Structure formats: C-alpha cells, structure tokens
C-alpha cells in the first residue's frame, strides 16, 4: 500500500476535465480501492456521498539511505495494513488465535485494515491524532482491533452487541468511547504492545463528566473494571465496578422494564442491556471474592431482569424472544433444565459463590449445617453443568466459554468454602497476591494428614487446573482465569508441604507446572498474569520445592 504526498490545501484545484491522473487518493477511496480525483478540500466521490474526505501525509523521500548500517529493528519499521492483514490471517489458523466462523458469517464486504503508521523518526513513536466522530463509521465491523475483540474477549464477556449488529443501522446508537474500549481491549491480543497505548486514551473518555449517564456508560465502566483487574490495578478495578453498579441501579437496569424502554424495539439491543446487568452480577462476585469476600453488592440486590438467551441466538443477531425466567425462578427451582442458556449456568455459579461468601462472613458459632448445605449445592451444580466442550468434535470453537466459567467459578467457590475450615491452612505460607487473600496461620505445626475439608478443596483445585488442558487456546480465556490458576498453585504448593509420598508430591508438582504454564500463556495478553506468574514462581522456590 502506498501513501503519496498530500497537496497544499491552499492551492486551487484544477477542473476535473483538465486534471492529469492523480497519484493522490483520499483515505475513503483508498479503502474501497476506487479511483479518486484528489480534489481538495474534498474529492468528487466524497462530495457526492456526503462522506468525510481526508488525506494522509506521504512518507516518500523522508527516509534517508542507510549505508554501512545494520538493518532496522522491527520496532523501527513502518507497520502497514498489509502486515497486519497477513499476521491476522495467519494467526487465526493457529492455536494462538482462532477465528470463530459465527462471527464472520454474514458480513458482505471485505475487511479493511486501517492501521496507524509509524513516523520516520525512529526515536519516538507518533500516531495520528484520532478525529472526533459523532457516530461509528460503517467499516467498524471490519476494524482489525474490533475483530480481535470479538474473536477473543467477547466470547468470555458477551454483553456488548454482537459483531454482526455493528454492520446494521443499530451501529449509530453506539457511542465512540465503546468503540475505543473495544479497540483498546483488542490491541491486547496483537503482538506489538505499542497499539495498546495508542488506543488507551480513547477508551478512557468514558470517564468524562460530559459522557451521558446511560446504559452504554455502564458497559464502558464494566469493561474498564475487567481490564484494570487484568492489569493488576486492584483499587482502580474496584472503583470502576462500584461506579458501574451505582449507575446501573440509578438507571434501573436491575428492572426488566429498562431493556424494553431503552432498546427502541430492537430485540438484540434489549438482550444486550439484560446481559449487561448479568455481567455486572458475575464480575461483581468475582472481584469481591478475590478482594476480601465482603463487597458482593449485587448478590442481595432485588432484580427481575430476564435471564440471558442462548449464545448462538445472541451472536446470530436474529430476532430474540426474551427469556421468561428471572433470578427468583432460579432460586426457587430445584435445578436448571436442559433449556437453560450457558450464560444462566454462569449466573448460577456466581450466585453460589455469593452463598459461600455469606457463610464465610457469618458470625454464627455453629455453621456446620450451613457449610454442608452450601457444599451440597456446589457439588450438585457441578453435576448439572453440561460439558464445556463437544466431545464429538475436535473443533476448538466448540468450547463454550460460559460453561467453562461456570465450572471455574464453582471450583473456586469450593476452595473458598473449605480452605478456612481445613487443617491444610496450617501449612500456609506467604500467599497474599493480587489474586488471593488466603489467611495465613504460621503458628501451628502443619498437619500430617488431610482432613475432609482439605481433601475437598484439594480435589477442587485438581479439577480447576484440569481446565488448562481443554483443547483451545488459553490466551482467549477470561482474564479472571489468572486468579483461578494462581489459587491452584497455592493449594497444590501447600499440599506438597504435607504429602509424604514421593509419587503424590511429584503429581502435585506437575499440576503446579501446568498452572504456571497457563499463567505464562495468559501473560502474553494480560500484565496481571505475568506478575502473578512471577509471584507464584518465587513462592514455590521460597518454600524449598524444586
């Protein structure tokens, strides 16, 4: 792709009939591979379609010859659209980045890779200043960072409108800062780390005081809370999730009427609003459990929002008939039925996690009966969760991320329930990280055998670590999987200090290596995973295990 020198805007343009073939083309025509007459201030084609017309400065003649110099490093070379397209097409076929056919089906025009280019001054990285826009451009469905968002992150946190809808009239409802956040998150899956900093400012415009206080702002704050947690910014994540909850309750998003009133009759947008509340519900529970197990606000909040529909139906962007069931129906029923969506199993897992936090905060003297009841609830829910993968197919896109998280959250709940009551807690060590708040008891000798509670939460840690072995890329898992794997390492390290049988110790060490390997993969996208991995390695070495 070539970008030619832009004419001086003050120079009068010749009539089209007298113009020579122009080597200059505006961005809009170049994206569509159309001829451009390069009239200024706007070409004829853009004038006729009332489109924005802009030109990009040429890079020709600006690079000096390099004689007797070593070849430029990768970070000194210009990143072109073709470079990105080649990388994306190659990696979508690899295990690091799989493309979901359901996300790509139905898009009728070819993708456009409009990537910012590095300036020729290799000492600094300068990007084109983003121009303010009143609405999302039609090409946003094909924006490379947005595509990475939907291929990776959206699967685990599916509450923004489906990608197909970005190619429909509904796109005009989406504020620019939502696009900025999608690009910022998508940039975490691109190998050049500079793109994250490029897209970060636009993402944080959601915090502006002039941003309307509506459902979209709730979505933006929720996404930032997840990302700041994934960056190890615990206090910021806590602040953002509280801001999102405050605004959601202020707007009445916990009531079923909100989705109907604010969707303008569009069933997909209405479902997005319902999913936004339930995503808040799940993320609030996860952050509360990993923080201090005392701030799960939405657990006791009254809500009559309908439960989410099936993932396939939502991502198809077809007409959606709202689910008739609510959280109260979930509480009153003995079990989930075969018609329940996978998102509903995830909500049920978060609710059970809330039950564990309630028991752990209780001041009652005798909690044995309540602990047994919650334990039975957790085990029963695990038996009801369908398999998170289709055993009849090797297609890695068959992994259901909602069911995966339902299992992950339930195993974490079992660990949180049994650890405070187990004898193995006396084998604890310095295990306080960005992800865990396990109590440390160093004044007692470690046990010589495992009691029932220890056996139960060790078994939960075993099953949790097994999720690493599922046949799909760990890199595309939810960032919260970081803390789940950290918990596995802590539990298995504590068990190593108690086990006397060499075979069992070796088995535990293998599981520790498995979890640390998973953290290594997640660390390619999320700073928290990289930091926690190092903490886990240091902890493992400090206790004398090799």
Q: Mapping DSSP to helix (H, G, I), strand (E, B) and coil, where does residue 98 land?
A: strand
Closest to 515 measured CA to CA, from 497, 494, 532, 498: 532
- Alpha-helical segments (H) within 208-310: 215-230, 234-251, 256-261, 267-291
If one counts every other C-beta atom within 10 angstroms of the C-beta of residue 111, the result is 16
Which residues, at least 6 apart from 439, have a Cβ–Cβ distance to it below 8 Å?
420, 425, 428
Of 419, 499, 520, 399, nearest in space to 460 by CA: 419
Cβ-proximal residues to 170 (8 Å cutoff; 6+ apart), any chain: 161, 266, 268, 269
Phi, psi of 154 (to 5 degrees): -60, -30
Lookup: tokens for 308 = 């989410």
In whole angstroms, what is the distance from residue 446 CA to residue 35 CA?
77
pLDDT per residue rounded down to tens, the chain (546 residues): 333 334 444 444 444 444 444 557 787 777 777 778 877 777 888 777 767 777 664 444 444 444 444 433 333 333 444 555 555 544 443 333 334 443 333 333 333 333 333 333 333 333 333 344 334 454 788 889 999 999 999 999 999 999 999 888 888 889 999 999 999 999 999 988 888 989 999 999 999 999 999 999 999 999 999 999 999 999 999 999 999 999 999 999 999 999 999 998 999 999 999 999 999 999 999 999 988 777 899 999 999 999 999 999 999 988 998 888 999 888 777 666 656 899 999 999 999 999 999 999 998 888 999 999 999 999 999 998 887 654 433 344 568 999 999 999 999 999 999 988 888 765 555 555 667 655 544 445 556 678 899 899 899 999 999 999 987 788 889 999 999 999 999 899 888 888 778 888 899 999 999 999 999 999 999 999 999 998 888 887 776 665
């Amino acid at each position: 792709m070539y970008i030619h020198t832009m004419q001086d805007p003050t120079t009068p343009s010749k009539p089209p009939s007298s113009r020579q073939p122009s080597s200059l083309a505006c961005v809009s025509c170049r994206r569509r591979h159309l001829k451009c007459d390069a009239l200024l201030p706007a070409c004829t084609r853009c004038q006729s379609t009332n489109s924005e017309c802009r030109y990009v400065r040429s890079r020709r003649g600006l690079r000096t010859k390099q004689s007797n110099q070593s070849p430029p490093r990768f970070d000194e070379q210009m990143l072109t659209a073709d470079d990105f397209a080649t990388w994306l097409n190659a990696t979508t076929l690899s295990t690091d980045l799989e493309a979901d056919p359901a996300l790509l089906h139905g898009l009728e025009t070819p993708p456009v890779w409009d990537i910012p280019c590095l300036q020729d001054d290799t000492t600094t990285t300068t990007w084109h200043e983003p121009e303010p826009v009143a609405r999302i451009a039609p090409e946003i469905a094909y924006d490379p960072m947005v595509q990475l968002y939907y291929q990776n992150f959206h699967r685990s946190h599916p509450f923004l409108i489906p990608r197909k809808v970005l190619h429909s009239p509904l796109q005009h409802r989406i504020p620019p800062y939502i696009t900025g956040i999608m690009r910022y998150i998508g940039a975490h899956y691109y190998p050049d780390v500079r793109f994250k900093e490029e897209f970060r400012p636009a993402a944080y415009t959601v915090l502006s005081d002039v941003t309307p206080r509506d459902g979209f702002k709730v979505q933006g704050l929720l996404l930032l809370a997840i990302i700041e947690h994934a960056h190890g910014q615990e206090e910021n994540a806590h602040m953002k999730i509280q801001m999102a909850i405050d605004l959601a309750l202020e707007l009445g998003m916990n009531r079923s009427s909100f989705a109907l009133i604010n969707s303008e009759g569009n069933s997909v947008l209405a479902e997005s609003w319902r999913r936004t509340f339930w995503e808040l519900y799940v993320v609030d529970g996860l952050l509360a459990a990993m923080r201090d197990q005392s701030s799960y606000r939405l657990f006791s909040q009254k809500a009559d929002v309908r439960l989410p529909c099936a993932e396939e139906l939502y991502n198809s962007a077809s007409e959606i008939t709202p689910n008739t069931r609510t959280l109260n129906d979930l509480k009153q029923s003995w079990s989930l039925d075969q018609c329940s969506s996978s998102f509903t199993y995830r909500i049920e897992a978060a609710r059970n996690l809330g039950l564990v936090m309630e028991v752990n905060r209780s001041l009652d003297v005798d909690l044995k009966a309540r602990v047994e009841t919650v334990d039975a609830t957790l085990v029963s829910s695990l038996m009801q969760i369908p398999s998170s993968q289709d055993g009849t197919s090797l297609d890695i896109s068959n992994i259901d991320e909602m069911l995966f998280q339902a299992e992950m959250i339930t195993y974490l709940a079992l660990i949180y329930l049994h650890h405070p009551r187990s004898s193995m807690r006396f084998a604890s060590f310095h295990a306080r990280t960005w992800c865990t708040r396990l109590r440390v008891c160093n004044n007692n000798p470690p046990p010589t055998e495992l009691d029932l509670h220890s056996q139960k939460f060790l078994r939960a840690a075993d099953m949790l670590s097994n999720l690493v072995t599922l046949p799909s890329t760990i890199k595309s898992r939810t960032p919260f999987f970081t803390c789940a794997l950290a918990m596995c390492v802590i539990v298995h390290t504590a068990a190593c200090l108690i086990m006397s049988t060499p075979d069992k110790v070796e088995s535990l060490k293998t599981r520790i290596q498995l979890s640390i390997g998973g953290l290594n993969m997640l660390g390619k996208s999320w700073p928290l995973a990289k930091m926690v991995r190092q903490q886990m390695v240091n902890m493992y070495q400090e206790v004398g295990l090799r």
